[in-house]
Structures are given as C-alpha cells and as structure tokens.
Amino acid sequence: MSNNVSNASAQSNAADINDGSLQEAANTEPMSAATSSESAANTPDVEVPDIEVLGAEVLDIDALLDIADDVAITWVRKQSDLDEVIDALATCGRVALDTEFIKRDTYYPRLALVQLNTGNHVYLLDAPQLQLAELWEALRKVDVAIWHACGEDLGIFYLLSGCPPLTNIFDTQIALSYLTGQLQMGYQQALADQLDMHIDKEHSQSDWLQRPLTDEQEQYAIDDVRYLPALYLSIEHALKAQGLYDYVWADCQLYASDLYDTQHVEDEAMYLTMADYRYNSQQMAILKGVATWREELARATNQPRTFVIKKQAVREIVTEKPNSMRELAHKTTMHRSMLRLYGEELLKVIRDAKSLPPTEHPDCLVPPYRSKNKVLSKAVQQTIDEHAREIGIPASVLMRKKWLGQLYEVIALDKDLSELPQGLKGWRNGWVIQTLIPVIKKHKTELQQGMGIRVQ
C-alpha cells in the first residue's frame, strides 16, 4: 500500500489547531470524501471527533514544517505559569504530547518533563516543580491528543493522574502501521519517511532530572513534539483518502484502554504475565506466590521488579522448587544480595504455595495451537489476507497473533463469544463472526487436537 501523502486527498478535523495555521498549509479546494468499501456492520462504533471535510489535492509539507519551525517555545517552571497552558488546551482542539522520565532504578517512574505542542506554541513543563492535576484533567478534554508510541507515556499518565481510560488518543505509530505494515516504527523514522525531516534521537537515555538541561537535551525535547502535529496531518490525509481514519481511531482508543488495564493489574494477577502453558497446577501456584511477593516488595522498596528477582530466576524457582537457601543459591540465578536480604522470606512463600491443596491451585493455561497439519492455518491466513485486501490494510494490522490465539481458545473450548478479546469486538467483529469463525469451526477437530484438547 502506498503511503505517499503528497498525493493524498485531505480531510481535516473540525477541531483545528488554535489559529488554523496548520490547516492553511493544505489546498482547500472541495472534493468528495474517500469512503471505505467495508460494510456497515464492520464500521467502527467508537465515537470520533466531528470531521469537517476540506478536500485537498496536495498537502504542502514544506508549509507544515515552516509552521513547526516558527512555534514559540516556553518553559513552565512556576505553578502560576501553568494557567496559560490550561487555557491553551481549552481552545486548541488538538495537542501533541511527549514526556521524559527516569525509571531505571525505581518502581515508580519519576516524571521529569512534559512537552506539549498546541499548534503554535510548545510548552516545556518542569514536572518536578509543578502540581499537574489540572493538566491531566485538561488533557482528558482535548478533542485529539497526539502521541507517537504512547505506551510508556500513557502508563505514567494513568499512574499519576488517577484518570479513567482516555478516549481522545491518536497514536501516530499505530496509524503508520495501517499505511506501512510496520507495527513499531520509531519517531525518527516516521519523520524521515513522512516529512523528510531528520532529527537527533541520541539523548533519549540521558538524565532528564538534571537542571539545567543541556542545550542538546532541550532541543531533543522540543523536537519530540515540534513536528508531531505536521506528522499527524500528513498521516490523517493519507488515512482519510483511503477511508481508514475511523479504523485507526478505534484502534487507538482500544490501545489506550488496554494500557489502562495493564496499569491496574492486581498484585495477585501479575503471575499471568509470566505464566507458561507447560506449568502444572502446583507450578502455577508457586508462580502466583512468587510474582505477588515480588510485586509487593518492589513497590514497597520503590525498585524495579527485576531488581528483586529477574524473570529468569522466577522461572528457575518455578521449575526447580527450591527447599533451602543452598538450593535457592545453586539452582537459581537470583542475585546474591537479594538472596541474603530476602531468601528466607522467599522460601516461606515457596513452601506455602507448595502446601496448598490442588483445589486452591490456579488454573493451568490452555496450550497454544500447534500442528504439523497446516490446513487450518492456511485457511485462516487466506481469510485474513482476503479481508485485509478488501479494506486496504496490512493483514498484520487486521489480526494480531495474540487475538488469533485467544479466538482459537474461545472456539476450541466452546466459550461464549462474549469472551472474545476486545480487539475483535470492535469494527472487526462483524467480519470475525460472519466469516472468520465459520472457517475455524470447519477445522475445529484439528484445532482441538493441535491444542491438546481431548475430542469427544
């Protein structure tokens, strides 16, 4: 699929950047809006911002970059200065965001800087000096919050704000996966490919809590949001020309919700992030006990989980089931300093888990589908490829491997369709129910056998 935005037809959000200057970079000669060939049953039901159709044959990238180069830059270091930012967010419609933080040696990330671009102004918020509750609330109300690869940034947002899942997210990395098939394109490459703009990304791991920042750090922080509105507009043109904007918008809100759920996993459910289908029920009990203990200790001591026990050591504990300090030292790679401090405490956790009756063990995971017979896999992939071509998106975007595995489990175990993954409940749902599931059910016996499920 072509992602040449210079020839894409333009449609822009009614919520223009403050003075509309970014929109003026497009030729606004009216033309008909691009429409999708997708059936109404598969149209996203996620609410998107009102759209004003302003067609344009050519998007003037140079004009967008000129606007980006001319934005004002303001540091916000005093609480009273934050009022200007809140007022700007109330009227800007769209805002581009990024954060800089340190989390190498702590459980809780330390927010160092928040960068905002309201279209004609870049604000650098000195986060350690500010109370940001009003900012978080203001960002919730913006029509479109533009990020690139927002996973860690949104995790911090949810942690610090206490806000519910955001419903105004546009992640340019997700959007570019629709246009390029590349699921994790970095910001530097995105700017180079879409805008022919080249920026330095060498300072991402520098000390963002130091004050003052170096000139290079400050430039890096500014560049992270300076060109983000222009990137958004170039991508928006291409997506709407191909009738894909609504699908991207829906997937961005799905991602924001998933990140919220990830941020709010209960301690006792953390073991599922490390569970293996090869573990028996007692091993699952040990894993749950160790993972819960690790989470509680990491939070209480404000250090990363891996500083307490690395995942490899957790796996070794689960498989070796050590009974003594000697076995814990010789059969696992647990760090010796942590062994001295917490070894006996950890052994008690392991003993308690091993002594649980089987009725109190967690459920084992269902094995993934594995089969030398490729009839099912080929039929499913063909169905996915055909629909991806119909609506004009990469197959890897239409169906993620994780979703397909979850779908297999629903079909193989005769679960209710309400247990489908969220990604298959949105705009993909009609196609999944009407087309994909019938294909899988034709090969249900093979599916169950490939998952080790005894067929009646």
Walk along the chain (456 residues) and give the pLDDT tens digit of each residue.
Answer: 333 333 333 333 333 334 445 544 544 333 333 333 333 344 455 555 543 333 445 688 889 899 999 999 999 999 999 999 999 999 999 999 999 999 999 999 999 999 999 999 999 999 999 999 999 999 999 999 999 999 999 999 999 999 999 999 999 999 999 999 999 999 999 999 999 999 987 766 789 999 999 999 999 999 999 999 999 999 999 999 999 999 999 999 999 999 999 999 999 999 999 999 999 999 999 999 999 999 999 999 999 999 999 999 999 999 999 999 999 999 999 999 999 999 999 999 999 999 999 999 999 999 999 988 889 999 999 999 999 999 999 999 999 999 999 999 999 999 999 999 999 999 999 999 999 999 999 999 999 999 999 876
Same domain, 282 and 258: no
| Residue 107 located in a structural domain | yes
List the beta bridge partners of residue 95.
Answer: 145
Domain count, the chain: 3
In three-state secondary structure terms, 146 is: strand
The H or E element containing residue 254 is helix 245-263
| Residue 53 located in a structural domain | yes
* 14 CB-side CA count, 13 A: 5
For the entire predicted model, the pTM comes to 0.87
The H or E element containing residue 255 is helix 245-263
What b/e readout covers 74-100, taking b as 16+ CB neighbours within 10 angstroms?
A: bebeeeebbeebeebbeebbbbbbbbb
| Residue 168 located in a structural domain | yes
In 346-394 the beta strands, taken as DSSP E runs, fall at none
Same domain, 178 and 288: no
Same domain, 229 and 341: no
Same domain, 200 and 64: yes
In three-state secondary structure terms, 52 is: strand
| Residue 288 located in a structural domain | yes
| Residue 370 located in a structural domain | no
| Residue 268 located in a structural domain | no
List the beta bridge partners of residue 13.
Answer: 51
Residue 208 tokens, joined:
């963002």
Same domain, 56 and 11: yes
Q: Based on the number of CB atoms within 10 Å of its own CB, is 453 exposed (0-12), middle (13-18) or buried (19 or more)?
A: middle
The H or E element containing residue 145 is strand 144-147
For the residues of 151-194, what is the DSSP string, one character each?
HHHHHHHHHHH-----S-EEEHHHHHHHHHS-TT--HHHHHHHH
- C-alpha separations of 445 from 272, 413, 442 in Å: 28, 11, 8
Same domain, 215 and 336: no
Cis peptide before 212 (omega within 30 of 0): yes
Query: To which residue do tokens 């997700």 refer?
Result: 174
Same domain, 146 and 217: yes
Domain that holds residue 245: 5-263
Q: Give ∠ CA 38-42-47 in degrees, rounded to 5.
A: 110
Q: Point out the domain boundary residue: 360, 393, 424.
A: 360
Q: Point out the domain boundary residue: 328, 360, 392.
A: 360
| Residue 456 located in a structural domain | no
Q: Point out the domain boundary residue: 210, 230, 263.
A: 263
Report yes or no: 290 and 346 within 8 Å, Cβ to Cβ. Answer: yes
Same domain, 206 and 352: no
